[in-house]
Amino acid sequence: MANGKRLKAARAAYDRDKLHTVAEAVKIIKGNAKVKFDETIEVAINLGVDPRHADQMVRGVCNLPNGTGRSVRVAVFAKDAKAEEAKKAGADIVGAEDLMKQIQEGDMPFERVIATPDMMPLVGRLGKVLGPKGMMPNPKVGTVTMDVAKAVQDSKGGAVEFRVEKAGIIHAGIGKASFTEDKLAENVNAFLTAIQKARPSGAKGVFMRKITVSSTMGPGVKIDTAEVSA
């Protein structure tokens, strides 16, 4: 009941049909984030693409300048010297056949998987497990690499992977309500720039059709796509 009243009050605090600048949207979102936990700030983008076509797939990674505000647990498939590099870089779990067996048994206390190229034949056998969870390593987003130390550090430091869904929507958490307005705005802009750069060759017409910023428990605030495109 309290949440319902809070949400109603939040919606009444601004014009929900108005298009805002990134800075304005962030200010509204922070002003409405008043629950007892540190809400995640999320960005949702409706794109003018049909991801069923290979030349309209949008996928990539964005290194947020101020991090995400959450701790990401990373698993790395590597052996010998590369395994040691991953451990020194802060990987939470490092292994090969033993890690594969752990995952097959359903024990996955991590959110991101990185692998060296030579480990991919092994990792490929886990496609049906890791794929649906969005954790299958992929060279396009830097999670299949020989530079495992950098990949681990990027993951821990605020790298956000994105991939368009069937309905043409991309969404991601880009920070916490406890961040300053400036830091949130920087993260939003960095994420939107990464999406723009990932525009596929098959995308025609308006690419970013609608952009909304929201907090975990708050209503969405619309961002002016013309400002972002400019």
User: Does residue 82 lie in a domain region?
Assistant: yes
In a domain, 118, yes or no: yes
For residues 5-29, average pLDDT: 80
> 119 to each of 74, 76, 97, how far by Cα in Å?
16, 10, 10
Q: Kindly state whether residue 98 falls inside one of the protein's structural domains.
A: yes
Do 32 and 143 lie in one domain? The reply is: no
On whether both 60 and 93 belong to a single domain, the answer is: no
Instruction: Answer yes or no: is pLDDT of 228 > 90.
Output: no
Share of the chain above pLDDT 70, in %: 93
pLDDT of residue 40: 94
Residue 177 domain-assigned (yes or no): yes
* 227 vs 136, higher pLDDT: 136
Q: How many residues does this entry show for the chain?
A: 230
Locate 109 and state its tokens. 């206390």
pLDDT digits (tens, 9 = 90+) for 45-84: 999 999 999 999 999 999 999 999 988 999 999 999 999 9
Give pLDDT, residue 1: 47
DSSP secondary structure code for residue 57 in this structure: -
> Do both 60 and 39 map to the same domain?
yes
In this prediction, residue 11 has a pLDDT band, given cuts at 50, 70 and 90, of low
> Based on the domain organization, do 59 and 88 belong to the same domain?
no
Residue 56 sits in the same domain as residue 79: no
Instruction: Give the whole-number percent of the chain exceeding pLDDT 90.
Output: 77
In a domain, 80, yes or no: yes
What is the total count of domains within the chain? 2
**CATH number of the domain encompassing residue 20:** 3.30.190.20
* Domain of residue 205, residue span: 15-67+160-229
Q: Are 78 and 153 part of one and the same domain? A: yes
Q: Is 171 helix (H, G, I), strand (E, B) or coil?
A: strand
114 with 139, same domain? Answer: yes
How does the average pLDDT of the chain come out, rounded?
A: 91
- How high is the pLDDT of residue 57? 93
- At 17 the pLDDT is 81
Of 104, 129, 157, the position where a domain reaches its end is 157
In a domain, 8, yes or no: no
164, 63: one domain: yes
| Spatial distance between the Cα atoms of 8 and 151, rounded to a whole number of angstroms | 42
Range of lowest pLDDT (32-36, 135-139, 164-168): 32-36
Q: Is 78 exposed, middle or buried (0-12, 13-18, 19+ CB in 10 A)?
A: buried
Residues 166 and 216 in one domain: yes
Nearest Cα to Cα of residue 185 among 33, 20, 11, 8: 20
Q: Does residue 1 sit within a domain?
A: no
Strand partners, 112: 74
Residues 62, 78, single domain; the answer is no
Say what the pTM is: 0.81
Task: Report the pLDDT averaged over residues 40-44.
Answer: 96
Same domain, 109 and 218: no
Would you say residue 5 lies in a domain? no
Are 99 and 45 members of one domain? no
Residue 13: the pLDDT is: 63
Q: Are 110 and 93 in contact (CB under 8 A)?
A: yes
Average pLDDT over residues 78-106: 97
